[in-house]
Amino acid sequence: MKITKIIQWDMGHRILNHRSVCKGLHGHRYKAEITVEGDLVNASSTSEYGMVMDFADIKKIAKKEVHDKLDHGFMVWDKDEELINFFKNSGGHKMVKVTFTSTAENVAKYIFENISKKFEDKYGTGLKLSSVKLWETPTSYVVYEGRSC
């Protein structure tokens, strides 16, 4: 069975070589739907009995590994020298330096890869991260389901 927890955060970015307005500095209210899948926990004496995973535990992982690292940050491609220099020389900003240009596709993959190990077979039920659906705007999203897609 699959279950999903949704988290949201605010983050700035730019797409350096984009042909249009995306190359300028701007931000989004990002929303990620974190979906995990596995069999139901069948140990009746545990807190998770009858669940794939406790929603609160998904939230805890998503908050620590995604929200708290990205919220009110600015994602910067390590090849974007202008921005790297700007952030180096001015304090008070939360730069999130990454090795990719911050398209929604790449950010979804980055999130997936950063949290997938936290879910691996936690209860002996085959639990795993199934997908990360990342909304960049209210009308645009990408879905990443791991290496195979």
Q: Which residues are catalytic?
A: 22, 72, 136
3-state secondary structure the chain: CEEEEEEEEEEEECCCCCCCHHHCCEEEEEEEEEEEECCCCCCCCCCCCCCCCCHHHHHHHHHHHHHHHHCCEEEEECCCHHHHHHHHCCCCCCEEEECCCCCHHHHHHHHHHHHHHHHCCCCCCCCEEEEEEEEEECCEEEEECCCCC
Which whole-number Å values give the CA distances from 138 to 31, 37, 67, 128, in the listed order?
9, 25, 18, 27
Q: Please count the CA atoms within 13 angstroms of the CA of 43 that sit on its side-chain side.
A: 8
